[in-house]
Amino acid sequence: MASFDISRNLLLYIFVCLTLSLSSEAAVVFLDYDCYSNTTTYTRNSPFHRNLKFLLSSFQSNSTRQTGFYNLTVGQHPPDTVYGLFLCRGDDTKEICRECVTSASKRILQLCPNRKTALVYYDECTLRYSNSSFFSAWEMQPALELLNTGNVSQPDRFMKLLGNTMKEIATLAANGDQLGKKYATKEVNFTSFQTLYTLAQCTLDLSVSDCETCLQTAIANLPSCCEGKEGGRVVFPSCNVRYELYPFYRISAKPPPPPSPTQKPVLHSPPSPTLQSKGKKKMSSTTIIAIVVPVVVSFVIFAGGLVCLLTRKPKKYDAVEQEKEDPTLRPSMAAIVLMLNSFSVTLQAPQRPATFLIPSNNSNSLVNELVSDSSSPTPRKSVPSVNEASISDMAPR
Ligand SMILES: *[C@@H]1O[C@H](CO)[C@@H](O)[C@H](O)[C@H]1NC(C)=O
Ligand SMILES: *[C@@H]1O[C@H](CO)[C@@H](O)[C@H](O)[C@H]1NC(C)=O
Ligand SMILES: *[C@@H]1O[C@H](CO)[C@@H](O)[C@H](O)[C@H]1NC(C)=O
Ligand SMILES: *[C@@H]1O[C@H](CO)[C@@H](O)[C@H](O)[C@H]1NC(C)=O
Ligand SMILES: *[C@@H]1O[C@H](CO)[C@@H](O)[C@H](O)[C@H]1NC(C)=O
Ligand SMILES: CC(=O)N[C@H]1CO[C@H](CO)[C@@H](O)[C@@H]1O
């Protein structure tokens, strides 16, 4: 009996310790990058380099704007002119947006030294620059596709609900919200105990119709990446969509939705995509398949707990950290204790568990980057039961 209690307490301690240590780890999550390797390079301390440094430092000082978006042109003389923008996710707090832009600004220079055109994707923001202007034109390359490997119970009904909900929020996002962001989220009931969470967002330099076209194209890619999966996302430079069966964004008190537009924006180039159409082509040169391995996850949990025990120290809460995580997204302490006291409950894997990435044909730095990144699982969000692994496709330029 006594030993049983001890092991239960130990388990509780490990769980709490792990949760704390992981939540105070990386606050922003790097996803992927592209250096547009066919483009030209600049030399150190050239006028272009100076303009680029100015651009990135302006980004950091402008990252607390209300809209979470900023585009800037630096330099009057064309070969040395730098165009750039960043977009923070619509639910980012100012602190998270600043942290993401700061991290992305540093990382993009490390990942793409001397490149005149580059882009990085984070969970919380997108940042890109180039020697030629790309404002106002929607772009779908390089595309990043990520999926949650869990299967849904009724895939046909699920994909239909997903398609309808996504189309709805694409229109809402394109028309903009009250804060001036092109951002929309929606929650719908899938089953009595499963809620579908959806998100769509565009950069603010796009027109209403270009934003909607971009989002519809991203939505049309969901069946090919994520058919029947519990979660998925398609990230383009100009817009992105994501869905999960858990709350992955901060749910704010919603203002009433704007009146539906009297006239739907006309969709241009791509034919009106339907979720039923199975996208076949992948625009990718690199396919990275991530597989969740429960064994690895359990090991990581165990090892993490062990490290915690060995490095037991009074843990200070960091005020900024506290602000970032919406407490409503976390399981309550009572829920955790209940889980641990119920003998039938098994501890489930955290959301971003260790993953294996299997590079296909051409393995490059991207693969290494993702591997090293995934070696430190960062379940910042709260529902401990969701696995998140990914297949990602980065398109070449
Ligand atoms: C930007 O660089 C590319 C080569 O990478 C070049 O073809 C293009 O003309 C440059 N754009 C401008 C506006 O200088
Ligand atoms: C934003 O960046 C510009 C430079 O482009 C700078 O002049 C301005 O002060 C920055 N805004 C803030 C709020 O720092
Ligand atoms: C930002 O993008 C808009 C829309 O394309 C453009 O009109 C504006 O000139 C850009 N601002 C800067 C500072 O480049
Ligand atoms: C999902 O279904 C596929 C085949 O339909 C199967 O190979 C895969 O293992 C399932 N994934 C999970 C996490 O159950
Ligand atoms: C979703 O389900 C919950 C409880 O099951 C219910 O309270 C809520 O009204 C439902 N929402 C919608 C939009 O049907
Ligand atoms: C013009 C040019 O340099 N094209 C190259 C772009 O990069 C791909 C590989 O990513 C090469 O195959 C092309 O030759």
pLDDT tens sequence across 40-56:
899 999 999 999 999 99
Q: How confident is the model at residue 385 (pLDDT cuts 50, 70, 90)?
A: very low
Mutate which of 40, 43, 52, 397 for ligand 1? The one with the most ligand atoms within 8 Å of its CB, which is 40
pLDDT of residue 26: 53
**Which fold would CATH assign to domain 144-282?**
Killer Toxin P4; Chain A (3.30.430)
Question: According to CATH, where is 3.30.430.20 located in the chain?
Answer: 30-130, 144-282
**Which ligand has the nearest atom to the CA of 193?**
5
**Overall average pLDDT of the 270-295 stretch:** 33
Q: Is the pLDDT of residue 357 over 60?
A: no
What average pLDDT does the structure give for the chain? Answer: 71
Alpha carbon of 135 to ligand 3 centroid (Å) = 6
User: Could you give the angle at the alpha carbon of 32 between the alpha carbons of 29 and 36, nearest 5°?
Assistant: 145
Residue identifier of the C-alpha nearest atom 1 of ligand 3: 71
Residue identifier of the C-alpha nearest atom 12 of ligand 5: 189
Q: How confident is the model at residue 252 (pLDDT cuts 50, 70, 90)?
A: confident
User: In whole angstroms, what is the distance from residue 69 CA to residue 63 CA?
Assistant: 7
Q: How confident is the model at residue 263 (pLDDT cuts 50, 70, 90)?
A: very low
**Overall average pLDDT of the 102-129 stretch:** 95
Q: Is the pLDDT of residue 257 over 80?
A: no
Alpha carbon of 46 to ligand 4 centroid (Å) = 52
Alpha carbon of 389 to ligand 2 centroid (Å) = 38
pLDDT of residue 356: 26
Helix crossing, 2-23 with 333-341: angle to 10°? 140
Q: Name the more confident of 364 and 339.
A: 339
Mutate which of 149, 151, 292, 348 for ligand 4? The one with the most ligand atoms within 8 Å of its CB, which is 151
Which CATH number is correct for 30-130, 3.40.640.10, 3.30.430.20, 3.20.10.10, 3.40.50.970? 3.30.430.20
Contact between 261 and 175 (Cβ < 8 Å):
yes
**Which atom from ligand 5 is nearest to the alpha carbon of 193?**
5
